[in-house]
Amino acid sequence: MLFGNKTTRIVIIGTGFVGSSYAFSLINQNVADEMVLIDLNKEKAEGDAMDLNHGLPFGSPMKIWAGDYSDCKDADIVVITAGANQKPGETRLDLIEKNVKIFKGIVGDVMNHEFRGIFIVATNPVDILSYATWKFSGLPMERVIGSGTILDTARFRFLLSRYFDIDVRNIHGYIMGEHGDTELPVWSQTRIGSEIIDRYMANFKPDAKKEDLDKIFINVRDAAYDIIERKGATHYAIAMGLKRLTQAILRNEHSILTVSTLLRGEYGLDDLYIGVPAIVSRNGVESVIEIDLNDEEKKKLHYSAEVLKKAMSPIFKMTN
C-alpha cells in the first residue's frame, strides 16, 4: 500500500503478547508496506518475523523483518509495547517507576536515529508513558499518541450491545480519563442508535435498570484484572485497537477515537496526557473534541486527572 510514492513502515518495539498480537492483526488488514520488529530478545523478534512471513500467502503483501533502532529513521509510526507487564494484584500505576526508566532508553534510541514520524504508546500506565514519550522525544504533542481509553470504550460498547441486544456498531459512547481505576463512563452522551440511552431505555427496554448499567461500567473498568487473573495478560483486543489507530493515521481518516493526548486547557485541564475523544489523521492528533459533560462527569474527569498528575513525579525528575 503506497501513499503517493512513499512506502509506509511501522516499527514495533516489544514483541511480547501485545506487540506480537498487533503485528498479526496488521498482516490481515493491508495497513502498511513494511513492518519491523525490535525486541531485547533478538531471537524472539526473529522468530516472530519468520512466523509472520510464513502467513503472508494468506494475508496482505508486506515486508517483515527483525530489525534495530536504525530502522526507525524511515518509519511512519513507531509503536511501543515494551515494558514491565501488569501482574495479578497490580494496578497500572504500580508500573510507573520501572517503565519510565525503560522508556527513557527506548525513546532516546529511536530519536538518535532521526525519527520524524508518529509515536503510538501502548505500554501501561499509558497516559503517563505517553507524556514521558512526548517529553523525552521533543516531538510536537500531536505526534505522540497513547492508546488511551480506546480499549475501555470498545469494552463499554460491547457490553452495552450485549445488554440491549443491539449491534455493537450502533452503540455510541465513550470511556474517558485515565486508562485505569479512575476512568469514567460518559452516560450523558451515550446513545443507542440516535437515541440518548435514558430515552432508549424508557421507550424500548422498560425492564432495564440503572443498577445494571453501573455493573456494566464496573465490568469495563475491572476487565483487565479479570482477564489477567484468568490468562495472565490482555492482548488481543488492545492489538485490534492499536491496528484501528494505525489505520486512522495512515489512511488519513480523521476518525474520532478516545486516545491519550496532551491537554492544553481543554476540559479545564492542562499539561497532562489523558484519554479523551480526538480527531486522528495522517498528522496525528488534529484536535481534541470537547463533548458536553454533565457536572458529575466533569468532577470525575478532574479527579482522574489529579490522580495522574500526582503519579507523574518520576517523569518530572527525569526531564527537569
| DSSP run (H or E) holding 284 | strand 284-288
Rounded distance between C-alpha atoms, residue 173 and residue 171, angstroms: 7
179, 235, 254, 302: the active-site residue:
179
172 is catalytic: no
Rounded distance between C-alpha atoms, residue 123 and residue 148, angstroms: 10
Report angle CA 59, 149, 64 to the nearest 5 degrees. Answer: 25
| DSSP run (H or E) holding 138 | none
300 and 277 Cβ atoms separated by less than 8 Å: no
Rounded distance between C-alpha atoms, residue 55 and residue 220, angstroms: 33
Helices (H), the chain: 17-27, 42-54, 96-111, 126-137, 150-164, 197-204, 210-221, 223-231, 236-250, 295-311, 313-319
32 and 9 Cβ atoms separated by less than 8 Å: yes
- Measure the CA dihedral 148/153/156/161, to 10°: -160
Active site residues: 179
